[in-house]
Amino acid sequence: MCCIAISAPRYRERHAYITRHLHCIWGPDFEIMGIDGTVAGRDASPNSGLTPGQVGCALSHLAAYESVIARKMPWALIVADDAVLPPDIHDILIRVEATLRRGDVVLLHNRPPHRAAFSTVDAVAIGDYRLCLPMSMSGLGTNAAYVITRRAAEGILAANRPVVAAADDWGFFFERQAISRARVMSPNPVSIQAFDAPLFPAGSKASGLMKV
């Protein structure tokens, strides 16, 4: 199994937290990626409308995808630096893996920006959880913790370089056929660690989400 955390070292409290947490819950075999969006340069489209923080977040996720591809991993778990993984995360992922198709993304934490509906048709039971399809891609609202297949990683790399979309703009990636399917595990098996200072102001699209 492959786990990659998105965390910039300059956010020391968050970086230290996710390092300790993954050592405790996941084990020693994980990577941490963090790119500063203020020095992104030509890696970001000047017309994207994204903040430097959003650009840095997107570039960090793209770097994680490059690692997945370079290591020839069939899929990986990507987590933000405020994610709280459950103790049975390995067991959950083994069962998620059995359901994966090429181009899949599975969110293990979802917080849509508005009230969202999900289909129970063909939902897959995984212990106390269910894998469900969103009725609309706008019902997907975070990248705090998700499984991504290598095919989906390749697709997003092709669609978002230079960066034109935020890392959690799953609707954008789906419309451009970068990913073939996105599902949500309900209820959320991954929760969020509260930090004193959010990285984004309240009311922003990224408010409360991990961005670097």
Identity of residue 178: A
For 22, the token pair is: 């993954």
CA distance 145 to 79: 4
Q: What is the pLDDT of residue 197?
A: 54
Q: What is the pLDDT of residue 41?
A: 60
**Can you give the pTM of this predicted structure?**
0.90
Strands annotated E in 44-98: 75-80, 83-84
User: Which has the closest alpha carbon to 78: 97, 44, 106, 37?
Assistant: 106
**DSSP secondary structure of 143-176:** -SEEEEEHHHHHHHHHHSSSB-S-TT-HHHHHHT
User: Which has the closest alpha carbon to 100: 73, 119, 80, 63?
Assistant: 73
Cβ of 185: how many Cβ atoms within 10 Å?
23
pLDDT tens-digit profile of 20-56? 999 999 999 999 999 887 765 667 787 888 888 899 9
pLDDT tens-digit profile of 159-188? 999 999 999 999 999 999 999 999 999 999
